[in-house]
Amino acid sequence: MALLRARLGLTGSAGALLGAILLIGMGQEIAKPFLPKFVSDQASPEWLKALVGPGVAPWLPLLLVGLYGTCVDFMEAIYYATGGRLSGRLGMRRSLLLFTLLPVAGAAAVAALGTPLALILAVPFLQGWDAISLPATLTVVGASMPAERRTLAFSLQAILRRVPRVLGFLAGGGLVAWLGVVAGVRWAMVAFVVLAVAALLVQRRFLSMSEPDKPGGAPLRVRDFPTPLKRLLVSDILARWCEGLPRDLFVLMALGSALLPGNAGVCRVSGFEFGALKAEEAAVALLLYLPMGFAASKSGYAKKPFIGVTFLFFAAFPLAFVLLGPALGLAGFAAAYLVAGLREIGEPARKAMITELVPADLRTRAIGLYWSVRSLAVMAAPMTGVLLWIAFGPRAPFYAAFAFGLAGALFFWLRFGDDGYHPKPPAS
């Protein structure tokens, strides 16, 4: 067992970190798929309707959904940048403990107040954990695992992150089916608080990593990244625009919203069925991770085909969703979410590639900078998707997402290459 843990990157603090990820991941995913509908299904305050005017007021619920999505991406960008620097200075243990307290405060506020504006104001707290745990995970594995085992280690850790998603999506769908969207989300936030507190105790007891990045040197900038990493970042940004344009609209298209003009009373699947569709996506990813981890375990640019196929599935998912779901109902949505799960084929390989390409002595800050720039570049996507819906109809953001995804896949296949850069393995 000890040998297996070592081969898969689960030694020492990595195991404690993954235990916390399991608990917090479960708590996050209970409510997360339904938060846009939580926003859209509640009447907006009269003062806000008066502020925007009668011409805009009917679309106010949808505009608040776009504002929520924009706040999520903006706070991700802030946290990835500051979290990477903070963990580089303080070490992972103290940083993770601090950032675990944030979602506890945010979820408690949403559970207590239960309004769309409370959720939007709580976004800075709810987003803190992901932005620090991802650089932490990549840094721990990137520094401790040889190149030929990193992809497999990331595959296992991705499995452990998706298991709570399956359970969380089903639990969230059950709560929404039982209590309705608003009450179901509020109780999901209560569960989030309980699980986050448990994760805090696990980290405080078992997490020991605290080595900061090496001090000194010039500030880290994107232009200091090697050319392949810059090109991977461009492809990633295009793929995330593909994801971000309709990200908060999937649940509205699938369940409908009586408050949205032209969509009154439309309901193609139930809340529980939507939770099951999200669970299907996570389960497909779970089945892929280990075989893809073994297949993509070669170091360097041998990972390119796996990453490239991932970008192609990013493009295919919104198109499959908007064409198959409305036409075939639940069966069509199930086919689309099968495609969504296939987007994870090259995810461990992509993360392993990033750890090989970022500067080894500044890995935490570099990974935080990479994700921060990506989130800033994608920040306008959710509101853009909402505006496309208002201007051209509900299908428009999904078609635009397909175009962005295809552009990202083509750019990656045509421009990403060796370029003379050969990443060095971490010093043992």
At residue 423, does pLDDT exceed 60? Answer: no
Q: Is residue 2 a part of any domain in this protein?
A: no
Residue 180, φ and ψ in degrees, nearest 5: 90, 165
Q: Residue-wise over 244-268: b if at least 16 C-beta within 10 A, else e?
A: bbbbbbbbbbbbbbebbeebeebeb
User: How far is Cα 141 from Cα 120, in angstroms, rounded to an integer?
Assistant: 34
| DSSP designation for 212 | P
Structurally, the chain folds into a number of domains equal to 1
* Dihedral angle of Cα 190, 193, 194, 198, to the nearest 10 degrees: 170
pLDDT tens digits for range 45-104: 787 888 878 888 888 889 999 999 999 999 888 888 776 666 666 666 677 777 788 888
Q: Is residue 214 a part of any domain in this protein?
A: no
Query: How many CA atoms lie less than 13 Å away from 275 in the CB half-sphere?
Result: 28
- Token pair 């599935």 in the structure block, residue: 313
Q: Is residue 411 a part of any domain in this protein?
A: yes
Q: What angle do CA 28, 384, 274 make, to 5 degrees?
A: 40
User: How far is Cα 237 from Cα 379, in angstroms, rounded to an integer?
Assistant: 10
Q: Which structural domain, as residue segments, surrounds residue 14?
A: 10-207+224-415
Q: How far is CA 134 from the centre of its chain?
A: 10
Q: What angle do CA 253, 24, 252 make, to 5 degrees?
A: 5
Q: Is residue 424 a part of any domain in this protein?
A: no
Q: Which of 88-97, 104-113, 234-243, 417-426 has the highest mean pLDDT?
A: 234-243
pLDDT tens digits for range 134-182: 666 666 555 555 555 556 666 666 777 778 888 899 999 999 999 999 9
Q: Residue-wise over 370-390: b if at least 16 C-beta within 10 A, else e?
A: bbbbbbbbbbbbbbbbbbbbb
Q: Whole-model pTM?
A: 0.86
Of 161, 166, 71, 177, the closest CA to residue 118 belongs to 71
Of 254, 257, 288, the closest CA to residue 116 belongs to 257
What pLDDT score does 418 carry? 63
CATH number where 356 lies? 1.20.1250.20
Q: Is residue 426 a part of any domain in this protein?
A: no
Contact residues for 52 (Cβ-Cβ < 8 A; gap 6+): 60, 63
Q: Is residue 307 a part of any domain in this protein?
A: yes
Q: Is residue 213 a part of any domain in this protein?
A: no
Q: Is residue 178 a part of any domain in this protein?
A: yes
